[in-house]
Amino acid sequence: MTSASVETDLELTAVHADAPAVRPRAAAAVVRAGLVWTLIRTDFKARYHGSLGGFVWALLKPLSMFLVLMAVFSFLFASNPNYKLDLIVGLFLWDFFAEATKTGLTSLHARGFLLTKARFPSWILVVTSISNAVITLGVFAVIITIFLAAAGRAPHGQAVALFLAYCGALVAIVVGFSLATSVLFLRYRDLNQVWDVAVQAGFFVAPIIYPLGIIPERFHIYLYVWPPTPVIEFSRAALVAGTVPTATAHICLAVDAALCLAAGIAIFRRFAPRAAEYL
């Protein structure tokens, strides 16, 4: 039975029996897709009060930051002709990382009221919580492209493909982090404050406002442990400098992303079954 015929059945029997008692597997997938879409839609609506104007504010935050930082630091790093482009790539990727991890961390708590309603895969609540940040990142990507084109270096196909792959890795890292911390936050209610501090310090650990080159090379390995660093550096290489990082570098990033995601899933599976008891 297809989902379409289920709905037809429903219309015929709506007065008495409502939803069909037994749902075929395909229809269950339709229900899940509907849940994902509703979560994304209502999240967007609640956050930006259903208006495009609200969304513009989300874009203005890193843009205003960009203007201020550029005004100040482009004098300091005047010798680097790519500084402005490097800065905007770094800031936008960082803004995604900071926003998405903060939202993901509190996602299960914020949407906990749904956990006690029925049994359903609760990871959907966590993964969809970063949808807003992903939408913003998509808009950022367009803005970055416009900036690059204005600077006379519109990215070609390979650079765009690499950048998308790096964004994919960053999303995997953020999803892993969110899965792990969303369940832990229910037990440790100041985890969001701890993370706020870490994010604030992390902004300076990642080479966003300064070029990585000013740090002695023996320290680079430590900076690369902080996940935003390789994503930002590789994206700059592909989009701004027009170079391709080494295969080893790509493998390291892929392993990093896979490990974060795997650890997140493992921690979530360990703690999620009892999540409702900690709400």
Count of positions on this chain that bind other proteins (CB under 8 A): 45
Q: Give CA–CA dist 206/241, Å, rounded.
A: 18
Chosen residue from 205, 252, 258, 276 binding other proteins by CB under 8 A: 276
Q: Of 81, 102, 173, 99, which is closest to residue 136 (Cα–Cα)?
A: 99
Q: Which residues of 121-143 are buried (b: 16+ CB within 10 A; e: fewer)?
A: ebbebbbbbbbbbbebbeebbee
Q: How far is the CB of 49 from other proteins (least distance, A)?
A: 9
The answer to the question of residue 263 lying near other proteins (CB under 8 A) is: no
- Residues written for the chain: 279
By CB under 8 A, tell whether 24 contacts other proteins. no
Say whether residue 197 binds other proteins (CB under 8 A): no
Within 8 A by CB and 6+ apart from 84, the residues are: 70, 74, 151
Nearer to other proteins, 39 or 175 (CB): 39
Residue 42 found at the interface with other proteins (CB under 8 A):
yes
What minimum distance in Å lies between the beta carbon of 165 and other proteins? Answer: 32
38: contact with other proteins by CB under 8 A = yes
The verdict on 81 binding other proteins (CB under 8 A) reads no
Q: Which of residues 134-193 bind other proteins (CB under 8 A)?
A: 187-191
Q: Judged by CB under 8 A, does residue 217 bind other proteins?
A: no
Gap between the Cα atoms of 59 and 54, Å rounded = 9
Do 178 and 107 contact (CB within 8 A), yes or no?
yes
Find the binder of other proteins among 87, 88, 98, 115 (CB under 8 A).
Answer: 115
- For the CB of residue 175, give the shortest distance to other proteins in the complex, in Å: 21
Alpha-carbon distance of 167 to 258, in angstroms, equals 14
Which whole-number Å values give the CA distances from 161 to 93, 166, 244, in the listed order? 16, 9, 11
Told to check if 118 binds other proteins by CB under 8 A, we report yes
| Positions in the binding site for other proteins (CB under 8 A) | 3, 6-7, 10-11, 14, 16-23, 27, 30-31, 34-35, 37-39, 41-42, 45-46, 111, 113-120, 187-191, 194, 273-274, 276-277
